[in-house]
Amino acid sequence: MSILDRFRLDGQVAIVTGASSGLGVAFAKGLAEAGADVVLGARRSDQLQDTAALVEAAGRRALCVPTDVADPEQCHRLAERAAEFGTVGVLVNNAGVGTAVPASRETPEQFRSVIDVNLMGCYWMAQAAGAVMGNGGSIVNVSSVLGLVTAGLPQAAYSASKAGLLGLTRDLAAQWSGRKNIRVNAIAPGFFASEMTEQYPDGYLESQLGGLPIARAGDPEELAAAVVYLASPASGYQTGTTTVVDGGLTIS
């Protein structure tokens, strides 16, 4: 097997949650270009067809399954539909929501709604996917650089959920890498165009990008390449780690 062959995902089925927009679209497209058929999950089912068209344009099959990852039963349904589609080898836990609410005003409902999707939803999906992967697979949890540092906005719920996801990644890797041959890793993106960045206050993003060593926002394809690496045999000796893709934010 050549080095480039190690990045291939031919014959595998990949599940991508939060696949209706933003980074989830880039991940689905990248996995398809690497050879995987892709099962797409999101709450906004009407937008999944656009992502499916990109997967099919890359020559791979796509399956759309409306899913709210905060509901464990829907997570299991998504995994079971994916298993009917073929051998599930990859889960990209991408579904997430964000808020920017001062801690003095954030309600219990607001805080819980973020944790339910960003942290608990990833756990329910990992459980569901782990049950159908059999002996071998790769789970990529999409955390955030805000699980490691702060960046000037009040985001307690979001930061807590993403930091918790890093701990979850380590624990699942310890449990499953040897026993089930399922590797579990995380990525911690910095500033990439998404629905969350569209909600930032005017001038905020520009103020943050100016201080980065790589003084620009990331291209979603740059992050998709990291996901393909972690999903593929190219990272076969890597588990329980967090790959930071942030333009140098954590060192600035």
CA angle centred on 48, ends 73 and 133, rounded to 5°: 45
**Residue written as token pair 């980074």:** 23
Backbone angles phi, psi at 150, to 5 degrees: -105, 160
Tokens of 19: 């696949």
Question: What CATH architecture does domain 4-241 belong to?
Answer: 3-Layer(aba) Sandwich (3.40)
Report d(CA 199, CA 195) in Å as an integer.
7
Enzyme catalytic residues: 158
Report d(CA 166, CA 177) in Å as an integer.
16
Report d(CA 33, CA 176) in Å as an integer.
28
- What is the tens place of the pLDDT at every residue in 151-195? 777 789 999 999 999 999 999 999 999 999 999 999 999 988 766
Report d(CA 65, CA 195) in Å as an integer.
21
E strands present in the chain? 13-17, 37-42, 62-66, 88-93, 137-142, 182-189, 242-245
What pLDDT is attached to residue 207?
67
What pLDDT is attached to residue 65?
97
What pLDDT is attached to residue 152?
73
What pLDDT is attached to residue 151?
72
197 pLDDT more than 70 = no
Mean pLDDT on 208-237: 91
Neighbours of 45 (CB within 10 A): 14
Closest CA to 139 of 78, 79, 91, 186: 91
What pLDDT is attached to residue 153?
79
Mean pLDDT on 42-67: 95
- Ranking 45-54, 150-159, 220-229 by mean pLDDT, the lowest is 150-159
What pLDDT is attached to residue 102?
87
